Structure 1
Amino acid sequence: MTETITGNEVIRVFEQMSPKHLAFDWDKVGLQVGTLNKPVKNIMITLDVLENVVDEAVEKQVDLIISHHPVIFKPLNQINPDTPKGRVIQKLIKHEITVYAAHTNLDIAEGGVNDALAQALGLSKTKPLLETGKDKLVKLIVFVPEDHAEQVRQAMHDAGAGHIGDYSNVSFSMPGKGRFMPTEDADPFLGKIGEMEIVDEQRVEFLLPHSKLSNVLKAMQEAHPYEEVAYDVYTLQNESESYGIGRIGTLNEGMRLRSFCEHIKKSLDVPSLRVIGDLEESVKTVAILGGSGEKYIYEAKRQGADVYLTGDMTFHPAQEAEEIGLKVVDPGHHVEKVMKKAVKTYLDEKLNQKEDKLNVYISEANTEPFKFI
C-alpha cells in the first residue's frame, strides 16, 4: 500500500528550489488559499490562477496548485462570487484546491524563471543581473554509526547539503568512538538500558546555506538510526554565494539583433515582440529579466549587456534605453510561462523518487491576455 504525501511535504521539497526568504519584502508568496495539512495526489503548475485555470484544476481533480503569480496580491475587501476574483476564490474553496504562490523568490531562485529563460535562449556563463542578497553559510556536523554513514550522508546531500560552487555531494568524514548509556526512558537503536555502549561512528561534516538548514536537519533526522541524533551547527564567516534578480550571460556566437529576435520568438514561443535598437547591429552579451523589468535598464547597461530582454516596457523608459545605447527586446510578460516546465521537472525528480507517486501537471489553460494581429 502506498503512503500518502501531504501538501506540507510537497512544499518543503519545493522550497528547497525556491525558498521564501528570497522574495522581495513587498511580495505575497506562500500559502494563499486552502490548507497544506492534507494529502495530495494531483498537483498543477501554472503561471496564473484565473478562472479557466481553476476549471482545468477541477477537471483534473487537482489538490494543490503551485502558481508563479499570486492569486491574492492586493488586499481583498470582500469575496464576492459576482466578481472574477471572487468566483476564482469561491471555486477553489468549494473544490478544496490549495494555492501556493512563488513569485519573486522563483524569479531569483537558481533554476527558476530567469535561469529557465536563459537556458531556453542558450546563454552560457550566466550570473545574476543584480545582487539582492547573500545567504549565510553554516557547517553541520553529525555523528553516525559506521554502517549507516553513507545512508545519512546521501539523504543530507539530497536535501541540499554539500553543494559548493560547481561541485555537489561535498563532505568530510573521520572515524571515532561514540559513547552513551541509555536511561530507563530510552528506546535505543543500539545498546541496553543502564549499560555503557561504545560504537564505531563517523563524524561527517557539510557546508550548506543557512536557508537549507531546516530541510537538511529534517532529512538527517529521518535517515539517522538513532533516537537522539548528536549534531552541531556553526555559523561561518566564509564568503557565501550571492543571489539576485535577472540573469546576464553570453550567446555562443554573436548574431544580428534581427536574428536574435527571431531566435527569441522560436525559443520562447511568442508570435511577435517589440524591439529598441538597430536591427542590423550584432549582439552577444544578453541580460534577461522575466516579467516587468524596465527599471533595470541602467543595470543591464552597466553590466555590459548588448541587449536586454524583459517585458512591459513603457514609453519613456524605452526612450531612455535608446538614449543610453541599450538594445531592448520586449516579448511580453507571459514568457514567464517557462517556469511551468522548470518546476514540474524539479518536482518529478525530487518527489517521484518516492513510492507514493504524484501526478504533476502543467496547466494548459491560456492566460495570455493579448492577441497579436
Structure 2
Amino acid sequence: MADHSGPGTHSSPAPSGVAPAPPVAAGRRVPLLQDVLEIIEELWPSSLAESWDAVGLVTGRRDRPVELIHFAVDPVRTVVEEACSAEADLLITHHPLLLRPVQSVEAGSFKGEIVHRLIESGCALLTAHTNGDSAVGGVNDVLAEILGLEDAKPLQAAEDGLAEEGLGRIGSLPQGTTLGDFAATVFSILPAVAGGVRVAGDRDAFIRRVALCGGAGDGLLRAAREADADVYITGDLRHHPASEAREAVRDGRPYLIDVSHFASEWLWLPAAAQALDRALADRGYDVEVAVSGINTDPWDFVITPGR
C-alpha cells in the first residue's frame, strides 16, 4: 500500500450471473469497480448510514478496472485534483459531495466542476460517511484505539447492526489522569490545525471514563452524560448545546474537549486504507492504495488573547 504522508501532526500518529474475469495489467490481477464496491460494503455496510446521509457511489462505471485508490476526508478541489493528477481510478472520501440536493452539476459551479473533473479523468467517487463512523474498525473505533480506551462500546447502538456497531464510543483509560494532561494527549495525536483543542472543565480534575464521537457529535452530549463519562471528545461543539450540557450537571461532568472535525476523522484514513488493501489482497487483487496528505480543515489561523 502506498501511503502519502498525512497532514502535519504534533507527534506521529496512523451482479448476478457469471462475473467476467478480472483484468490483468502487466502481470497484476486488477479488480473491477464493482468488485471493490462489494468489499467496501463488507467493511463499511451502507445499512449503518444514518437516514439523512448520502453514502455509496457518486460517479464511476462499475465495469471499469481499478488499479489506484485514493482516500481523503473531503471531496474538495485540491483533493480531487490530487487524485485525478495521480490517475487514480477511485477516490474514497469520508464526507459526501452531494449531501444536500443540487439542481445542476454544470461545470461553472464548484460541485459541478468537481463532478466533471472526476468523470473526464475516469476517476470514480465513493462516500463512506456515517457508515464509516459506526462500523467496527471505523472512525470511532480508530480514535478510541489511538487514545488507548479499554472495553470501548458504542454510545448509540446501531438500529440494525451488531452490538459493536453504532455512533460514538465510551470506554476507560487504563489509568486515570488529569483533564489537562489528557487534553494535551488528545492535542498531540491529532493532525495540526489552526483551531487547536478547546477544553471546558477543571484542568486538574481526575478523569478516566472517556466518551468520544469523531466529527460533529453534539447530538450525543446526553448519551455521554448518561454513560457516566468523565469527559466527552468531539468536534464542532456549538455554543448552546455545549452551554446547556454544562448547566445540566452539578459536578461539571462530562467535561468537554472540542476538536477539529477534520482532524478527528483524518485519523481513520490510514486504518481504512490498510483494511481495504488487506481485503483486496486476500482476494488476490493487486491495487495501490494511497492516503491524501492534504489538510482540508477550513480554518487557516486563529487569534487568541495576548496574541
Alignment of 1:30-109 (within 5 A): 30-109=56-135
Q: Is residue 368 from structure 1 mapped to residue 267 from structure 2 by the alignment? A: no
Residue 308 in structure 1 maps to residue 232 in structure 2: yes
Q: Secondary structure at the match of 1:43?
A: strand
Could you list the per-position Cα deviations for residues 30-76 of structure 1 after superposition, in whole angstroms to 9, with x for gaps in the alignment?
11112222111000111111110111011211001111101111111
Work out the CA distance in 1 between the residues paired with 2:157 and 2:295: 33
Superposition deviation, residue 77 in structure 1: 0.8
What one-letter code is carried by the residue in structure 2 that aligns with 1:305? A
Shift of residue 245, structure 1, vs aligned partner: 0.7
Distance 2:157 2:277 in 1: 30
1:287 is matched with which residue? 211
Between the aligned partners of 1:280 and 1:125, the Cα distance in structure 2 is 25
Alpha-carbon distance change, 356 to 243 in structure 1, aligned in 2, over 3 angstroms: closer
**Greater Rg over alpha carbons, structure:** 1
Matching of residue 273 in structure 1 with residue 158 in structure 2: no
Contact 1:134 1:242 in 2 (8 A): no
TM-score by length of 1: 0.69
Contact 1:7–1:40 (Cα < 8 Å) also in 2: yes
Would you say the 8 A contact 1:130–1:246 is kept in 2?
Answer: yes
Separation in 2, partners of 1:339, 1:99: 18
Instruction: In structure 1, give the amino acid aligned to 2:61.
Output: T
- What is the root-mean-square deviation in Å for CA atoms of aligned residues? 1.5
* Distance in structure 2 (CA, Å) of the matches to 1:71 and 1:307: 32
Note if 1:5 corresponds to 2:31.
yes
SS of equivalent residue, structure 1 residue 133 = coil
Match for 2:257 among 329, 332, 341?
A: 329
Shift of 1:132: 2.6
8 Å contact from structure 1 (residues 134, 243) kept in 2: no
Deviation, structure 1 residue 133: 1.7
1:118 to 144, 148, 167: 144
Deviation at 1:130, TM superposition (A): 1.1
Q: Which residue of 2 aligns with 1:359?
A: 288
Q: How does 1:188-227 map to 2 (within 5 A)?
A: none
Unmatched 5+ stretches in structure 1: 136-239
Q: Which residue matches 1:178?
A: none
Residue 242 (structure 1) shift: 5.6
The 2-side partners of 1:5 and 1:34 are apart by 14
- Alignment partner of 2:153: what SS? strand
2:179 aligns to what? 257
Residue 246 of structure 1: aligned partner: 168
1:133 and 2:55 matched: no
Cα contact 1:42–1:64 (8 A) shared by 2: yes
Determine the C-alpha separation between the residues in 1 that align with 2:160 and 2:283.
32
Q: How many corresponding residue pairs? A: 269
Aligned-residue offset at 1:269:
2.7
Identity %: 36
**Partner Cα separation in structure 2 for residue 108 and residue 244 of structure 1:** 4
SS of residue matched to 2:141: helix
Q: Is the 8 Å Cα contact of residues 133 and 242 (structure 1) preserved in structure 2?
A: no
Residue identity in the other structure for 1:62: A
Moved over 4 A (4+): none
C-alpha change, 1:68 and 1:265, in structure 2 (3 Å) is same
Deviations 1:228-257 (A, max 9, x none): xxxxxxxxxxxx636321000111111111
Structure 2 gaps, min length 5: 1-26, 303-307
What code does the residue aligned with 1:267 have? I
User: Residue 42 of structure 2 is aligned with which of 5, 9, 16?
Assistant: 16
Instruction: List per-residue Cα deviations over 1:82-118 (Å, max 9, x = no partner).
Output: 2221211110111111011111111100000000111
Question: Using the alignment, how far apart are the partners of 2:287 and 2:270 within structure 1?
Answer: 16
- Report deviation, 1:372: 3.5
Q: Which amino acid aligns with 1:348?
A: D
Once residues 349 and 312 of structure 1 are traced to their aligned partners in structure 2, the CA distance between those partners, rounded to angstroms, is 33
Deviations, residues 131-176 of structure 1 (Å, cap 9, x unaligned): 13244xxxxxxxxxxxxxxxxxxxxxxxxxxxxxxxxxxxxxxxxx
Residue 347 of structure 1, aligned match among 276, 279, 289: 276
How many angstroms does 1:336 deviate by? Answer: 0.5
SS of structure 1 residue aligned to 2:269: helix
Residues 242 and 340 of structure 1, relative CA distance in 2, 3 Å threshold: closer
